[in-house]
Amino acid sequence: MATPDWSAIESLPRTPLRDLFAADADRLSMLSTDVAGIHFDFSKTHLDGAALDAFAALAKSADFAAKREALFAGEPVNVTEGRAAEHTAERGEGAEDSVARAAAYHGRMRGLIDAIEGEALGPIRHILHIGIGGSALGPELLIDALGREMDRYDVAIVSNIDGCALEEAIASFDPHATLIAVASKTFTTTETLLNATSALDWMREHGVEDPYGRVIALTAAPDKAIDWGVDETRILPFAESVGGRYSLWSSIGFPAAIALGWDAFEELLDGAAEMDRHFRLTDLRSNAPVLAAFADLYYTQNRGCETRGVFAYDERLRLLPSYLQQLEMESNGKSVTADGQPVGRATAPITWGGVGTDAQHAVFQLLHQGTHLIPLEFLAVIEGGDTLAEDHHRALLLNCFAQGAALMAGRANDDPARAYAGDRPSMTLLLDELDPRTLGALIAFYEHRTFVSAALLGINPFDQFGVELGKEMAKAAERGGQDFDPSTDDLIRRAFG
């Protein structure tokens, strides 16, 4: 295998977008594709035929096709931790035994949901899901995006160790009708275990006789959950090889599966599987996650862009940017290659974003006229989520499309303060509608896009050792008797005397 040579990417000419459109009448069809009810339009990025050739050559020398097969085959692609990354098996796409195991775990989850619905744990109206990071962001996104008309259960997702989060969540809950779902892959996470302990105290204080009887655990460490006090019959396991930020498809998705219904959860998995097959089988040049990653890498490696902005022109997708922050930055925020060498180039850009049209009146000034070049991503849904007069949704969509056009076109003006340079890139993802299938496909698209960037950069997207040091130091501070630096010691003294 040759060493990937980035010089061809770094030296790609910086042809303006308007010239790229003028030079190629087929540009739109070359750079757009449709998968699982989502239209992907990459034509307003600076990718062109030459860029695609250069990236295809790079992918070849990075052994991309073999890495992708290794991912689906359940090989230990997470080399630093010596394990596979089997989120696709949860959707039925992966090694046969892993797919069978995931199906069995899903069967167990469905059984417990049926039992809860049948009031085997007493009458339940409220679900208190306690987890953090990958054990919270996914379910929260699903419920916020798809649960607008959900009336079967009230669901609260609590992550922060700040007691305000838990207090706010339980304020309107009846402790006698609440189920606590403790979601933690490792079942060791400080925030989650403290919040769960406090939630049990809350139940006890309100006279719930057997609070542990109302607790279920969603975890890859069932033994630890049992040690903590959860009854074995109420543990919903998932495989160790499913990474935390890739785990919403497993039992971590429990609150969505119970609140939106099992059929919706299965449709979510089916949509993701459709994207898996597209990613695995489609030629690189019409492969949505691959093209998106090529654009991402073009902007970091050729243009030196340090951030990328994601703007959802749909309230239902307002949590997507924060979901993507974990997925992309925890996966690809690395400085060494999978074999421990300095990576020597920029890895993940900083992902940030917001909701349109709100963001237009807040941060878009910088995007149109600031000194940073920020590749943008717009998301919109043809079928609106509201029932108001059509003008709302029509205006929303037209604003979204107008932003991409304005950023690209710019506008000359004799007054420099009123001039727009233009040539600012964006991609647009246009969903037919927002339902479990399209959302599943959308999230899987982002997972694979992240994987492609990692594969081409030669980094391991599946570990996250960078989060450990701060955790250890917080624990040391909790134990006390340890000196940090003068500034930190002073802060601790000021807070605790």
- What residues are annotated to the active site? 330, 361, 471
Rg (alpha carbons) of the chain, rounded to whole number? 24
Between strands 38-41 and 32-35, the pairing is antiparallel
CA angle in degrees (0–180, nearest 5) for 163-164-167: 85
Q: Edge-to-edge, what's the strand order for the sheet holding 38-41?
A: 32-35, 38-41, 426-431, 376-381, 307-313, 350-355
Q: Please enumerate in sequence order all residues whose Cβ is within 8 A of that of 221, keeping only pairs 6 or more positions apart, or say none.
A: 184, 185, 186, 187, 188
Give the interface segment with ligand F6P, choosing from 181-189, 229-237, 359-367, 379-387 (CB under 6 A): 181-189
Candidate residues 33, 88, 189, 460; the one interacting with ligand F6P per rule CB under 6 A: 189
User: Among 33, 98, 178, 184, which residue sits at the site for ligand F6P (rule: CB under 6 A)?
Assistant: 184
Q: For ligand F6P, which residue of 135, 241, 250, 251 counts as binding (CB under 6 A)?
A: 135
Stretch that binds ligand F6P, among 5-13, 183-191, 404-412, 485-493 (CB under 6 A): 183-191
Query: What are the DSSP E strand ranges found in 188-314?
Result: 215-219, 235-237, 307-313
Question: Which range in 49-57, 178-186, 209-217, 406-414 contacts ligand F6P by CB under 6 A?
Answer: 178-186
- Minimum distance of ligand F6P from residue 247's CB (angstroms): 7
186 is an interface residue for ligand F6P by CB under 6 A: yes
133 binds ligand F6P (CB under 6 A): yes
**132 in contact with ligand F6P (CB under 6 A):** yes
DSSP state of 435: S
Minimum CB separation from ligand F6P for residue 413, in Å?
Answer: 48
Distance, CA of 238 to CA of 148 (rounded, Å): 28
Minimum CB distance to ligand F6P, residue 422 (Å): 40
Where does this chain touch ligand F6P (CB under 6 A) — which range of 57-65, 87-95, 117-125, 128-136?
128-136
Site size toward ligand F6P, by CB under 6 A: 14
Contact between 450 and ligand F6P per CB under 6 A: no
**Which span (133-141, 150-158, 199-207, 450-458) binds ligand F6P, by CB under 6 A?**
133-141
Does 464 engage in binding with ligand F6P (CB under 6 A)?
yes
Paired with 352 in beta bridges are: 309
For the CB of residue 270, give the shortest distance to ligand F6P in the complex, in Å: 24
Regarding 245 and contact with ligand F6P (CB under 6 A), the answer is yes
The Cα–Cα gap between 181 and 252 comes to 9
- Give how far the C-alpha of residue 139 lies from the chain's centroid of Cα atoms, to the nearest Å: 11
Q: DSSP letter for 39, please.
A: E
Q: Which is nearer to ligand F6P, 332 or 464 (CB)?
A: 464
Q: If 0-12 CB within 10 Å is exposed, 13-18 middle and 19+ buried, where does residue 495 land? A: exposed
Nearer to ligand F6P, 366 or 467 (CB): 467
Query: φ and ψ at 42, to 5 degrees?
Result: -100, 10
CA-wise closest residue to 131 among 217, 237, 200: 217
Residue 331 sits in the site that holds ligand F6P (CB under 6 A): no
Q: Which residues bind ligand F6P (CB under 6 A)?
A: 132-135, 184-186, 189, 192, 244-245, 330, 464, 467
